Structure 1
């Protein structure tokens, strides 16, 4: 199932996506007789989705999704955890070896952004870069979980762009500030539940900038695979329902390239991961105060 968070005339809702159409919360309640909650996190993680998922095969999907603005699929996650150098091809292009343990950055939730929205960047940033990543949504609280059991806590997947100001990153000698600007975490376009993805470690992922292919790889190039990522992080911190873990980017970013072409005002960035949809954003530079 594909589950989207939606807005229409400043009213928020959510629904199931089928092709270009959507069945909204109110339709789902009416047709199933189940009074599902208003808050999407309550619906996803407090048993409501499990209660109705076997009752929804005959939903009419009466409305076109173009009627709605798509919002970041998860509102107010407790944590957004991003991995660095977790793709073998990306590590090699940086002259590095992929780390044995997750090298992580925590992005604030104010970075969250949606598809078809602007990535807004202050004009003092001179080296704006993209990173296509597969993100997973934690569906159950867990601590010190084993690799064997780790997949059981994943609710679903989405596309994630770990937007990065490389000049800030190099100036600071660490990643947090350069990845933490508001709007620097476009994600979505919706959550795709785990049952729809047969092999999450074999998905094609690409980035295009103004139609030009910049990243072209597969999740099979991850160095630390998803169950091990979850297990290792859970031995550091408690993972909670709704947490986002973004699993690293493959080769093709502009970082450390001698003839790097960084993002500029008006650029259109389009990311696609097999089975998860397309994430599309436009770059907008603004004057800083």
Structure 2
């Protein structure tokens, strides 16, 4: 299934995207408050699949306002320097442990919502990534069991304010400006992806390919990341893991390429879809 969170007629909903439009699940699954709650229960997910298979679309996809796939995730955990070629272009080496930082959920925005280039900086960069959405929570997860905790996958743009990122050794501030973390347009459930390592991630700036990588090239794969982070903090349903970006980022180009108002950046992931966002200046 392709699952979405969205607004229609001023109300928050969740549902599934089919070839004919959107099947609303909010009212078909009474008592399930949001998509994160649905993903927490495999029986509910199976029930949702049956409902979607039997139902006609309730309305057209372009009649709804998409929200971030998980509108208010409890945590968004991001991984840096996780492709070998990206590490090389950044002048870094992949270490013994993954580079972990966090995003605040309030920085997230949906497909087609404008990425905001902040007043504070012109060094606004792009990072195409695969994001993993957690379904089954847990702590101290064995890597061999980690994929059981994956509800699905979506596209992510970890747009970064580069000069702020390097103000200090802790570069989280450059990753947490308002309206810079695009995610969506939908979540593809894990049963639809036979092997995530076969996925490719491509980043397009105004239609020109800037980034490209294969998930098989991750220095720390998804099971290792889920297991490592779970030793420190339990995963909860709806949490998001952003797996890192391939080479081709803007500030390592000669000359550097930064996002500006009027641009459009697209994250294209095979078997999942395209996350597309225009760029605007902060008001």
TM-score, normalised to structure 1, is 0.92
Deviation at 1:64, TM superposition (A): 1.5
Pairing of 1:111-130 with structure 2 (within 5 A): 111-130=107-126
| 1:260 maps onto 2:256 in alignment | yes
Report SS of the residue matched to 1:57.
helix
Task: Please list, as runs of the form range in 1=range in 2, the aligned pairs for 1:172-211 lying within 5 A after superposition.
Answer: 172-211=168-207
Q: Aligned pair 1:133/2:136, yes or no?
A: no
1:59 matched to which residue of 2? 55
TM-score of the superposition, structure 2-length normalised?
Answer: 0.94
Q: Which residue of 1 aligns with 2:21?
A: 21
- What is the match of residue 37 of structure 2? 42
Aligned-partner Cα distance in 1 for 2:95–2:134: 23
RMSD, aligned α-carbons: 1.7
CA distance in 2 between counterparts of 1:259 and 1:226 reads: 33
CA deviation after TM superposition for structure 1 residue 58, in Å: 2.2
Give every structure 1 segment of 4 or more consecutive aligned residues whose post-TM-superposition deviation is greater than 4 Å: none
Residues 130-168 of structure 1 deviation map (CA, whole Å, 9 limit, x = unaligned): 101111011112111111000001111100111100011
Partners of 1:7 and 1:20 lie apart in 2 by 18
Q: Which residue number in structure 2 is paired with residue 3 of structure 1?
A: 3
Give, in angstroms, the shift of residue 62 of structure 1.
4.3
> Which moved further from structure 2: 76-85 or 59-68?
59-68
Residues 204 and 217, structure 1, Cα contact 8 Å, conserved in 2: yes
Q: Which runs of 5+ in 1 are unaligned?
A: none
Distance 1:52 1:126, change over 3 A: closer
Pairing of 1:196-275 with structure 2 (within 5 A): 196-275=192-271
CA distance in 2, matches of 1:189, 1:150: 25
Q: Does the aligned pair in 1 maintain the 2:39–2:237 contact within 8 Å?
A: no
What's the secondary structure of 1:117's corresponding residue? coil
